Amino acid sequence: MKIVVLATGRPKDKNVAICAGMFIERIPKGFVEMEFAAPAKDGNIEKEGVLILKRLRKRDTVILLDEHGKMYDSVEFSDYISESLGTVEGRLVFVIGGAYGVSQDVKKRADGIISLSKMTMPHELCLLFLSEQLYRAFSIIAGTDYHHM
């Protein structure tokens, strides 16, 4: 199984892109990759939704990131990732919407919704935070000392 972080728009801040990429590169090869859907120039979430949906496959398990979703601590999230590695048939795709969120069609396609925080954060920081938490999850699964319990 592969995990895909599908974000609307590439990070404009090169430091965010570098840091997010750094965490993804630390995960064993082939498990996680980042993909980007083009943002609508006018902020139209319906247009962005079409572009997001085009990147999804029929067998994908889609998890939308939204501040109203289920919250996990890092160990619970690693348990979720570990369980998903053994049960998800297609890809596990985490969708990060643009600045204005995602369309209703993307919400309907989602198999689950998780929250990284009750606070609203810019989607670029969401990408960075999710990348770090994925690295942390794989570190917990592998039993390395990155996560101190």
The per-residue pLDDT string of the chain (149 residues; one tens digit each, 9 = 90 and over) reads: 899 999 999 999 999 999 999 999 999 998 999 999 999 888 899 999 999 999 999 999 999 999 999 999 999 999 999 999 989 999 999 999 998 899 999 999 999 999 999 988 898 999 999 999 999 999 999 998 887 75
pTM of the model: 0.95
The one-character DSSP state at 84 is H
CATH topology of domain 3-142: Alpha/beta knot (3.40.1280)
User: Any idea what the Cα angle at residue 24 is, between residues 138 and 27, rounded to 5°?
Assistant: 35
> What does the domain layout of the chain look like in residue ranges?
3-142
61 forms beta bridges with 92
